[in-house]
Amino acid sequence: DLFFFFQWFDTNNGRDANSIVDFLRNDLGRWRAQNVIEVMEGRCKAKYPVVFHLKRHYERLLEACTGLYDFNKIPSEEEVAGKICDMWRLKSEFVVHLQVSAGPSEDLKIPLNKPLITLDVRSHTFGPPEIPIRLKSVPERRCFPEYKTGGGYGAVPRIMQKYMIEEGGFDSFIYWNAIEGAIEGPYDNLFFVTEDNDLVTSSVGVLHGVTRGVLLKLARESGIFKNVTERSGLHLAFIETCKEAFFTSTTKGINRIQLINDKKFETGPQTLTSRLHKLFLEYRENYYRERGA
């Protein structure tokens, strides 16, 4: 497992241990949660590692940085790919966490426009748990849900504790509110399969995940589902009419859901969810195979 952070300076003075300590000491990512995060998965079987849809992940990182950081101070997609190659040569699957924080501040409020970029690469086994998960709906939502922010993810343990998620026998939760309905999980996009074999997911208040986008495209092209719909208003009454549900994420792909509150869902090998999951795994294997991984 490897960890690295790097910083572009306005001057040519370079980088030394003292400057690194100063950056970490005064970093607004630590003090004010002013940071954005991108999580990617990859594989290395030959000489160079391959990141699954790196281009789309990088585009989403830039979208999240809009209005916060000077793009000229953020490494290019090629620089990120090169650094990952420098860090990871093991013949295995891996996960990449990339964070861009506001960087140092003299008063711990106003940034000096020197964003701090942190890169973490570690071994990872892709895929969901064998046992489908149990979820509880909570009347909360993330701030700026379309972006992965440190503050948004930092609230998850508090929400878990506040609503006694684990004490109630649940594995995680879904964000829900009276206007938008069921939105997503703390680290996952949320999908439902109706009795009419429609695939439905929320269109508002969500992170438009890379895996989510791939699955929507596959679902529309495959003919597995009668309709594939993105819409709002997926309320608890709607959930009661659905027969299947699943999460999607970068590190797990499709994660089957067996329960939301008191509503049970089908999770067997003959479900439409399982068919879509198989299709996604084939797509993922082809993606890596075509790129030598």
Question: Would the CATH topology of 2-123 be identical to that of 133-288?
Answer: no
The mean predicted confidence, pLDDT, of the chain is 89
To the question of domain 2-123 being in CATH 3.30.450.20, the answer is no
What pLDDT is stored for residue 7 in this prediction? 46
Domain ranges for the chain, please list them. 2-123, 133-288
What pLDDT is stored for residue 221 in this prediction? 98
Instruction: Quote the CA–CA distance of 58 and 40 in Å, as a whole number.
Output: 10
Write down the residue that tokens 């996960």 correspond to: 95
Instruction: Quote the CA–CA distance of 182 and 204 in Å, as a whole number.
Output: 10
DSSP 198-237: EEEEE-SSS---HHHHHHHHHHHHH--SSEEEEES-B-HH
Instruction: Quote the CA–CA distance of 1 and 122 in Å, as a whole number.
Output: 4
- The two tokens of residue 206 are 């969500």
**35 bridge partner residues:** 101
Backbone angles phi, psi at 228, to 5 degrees: -125, 115
Are 234 and 192 contacting, i.e. CB atoms less than 8 angstroms apart? yes
Instruction: Quote the CA–CA distance of 185 and 152 in Å, as a whole number.
Output: 12
pLDDT tens across 126-146, in order? 999 999 999 999 999 888 888
Are 191 and 248 contacting, i.e. CB atoms less than 8 angstroms apart? yes
- The two tokens of residue 97 are 């966490």
- The two tokens of residue 284 are 């993922």
To the question of domain 133-288 being in CATH 3.40.640.10, the answer is no
Residues 6+ apart with CB under 8 A from 231: 200, 202, 203
pLDDT tens across 237-269, in order? 999 999 999 999 999 999 999 999 999 999 999
**264 bridge partner residues:** 259
Q: Is 244 helix (H, G, I), strand (E, B) or coil?
A: strand
What's the CA dihedral at 21, 60, 126, 142 to 10 degrees?
A: 80
Write down the residue that tokens 């701090």 correspond to: 116
Backbone angles phi, psi at 274, to 5 degrees: -65, -40
The better pLDDT of the pair 171, 34 is held by 171
The better pLDDT of the pair 171, 103 is held by 171
In angstroms, the Cα distances linking 187 to 115, 240, 282 are 24, 23, 23
pLDDT tens across 55-79, in order? 999 999 999 888 777 777 788 899 8
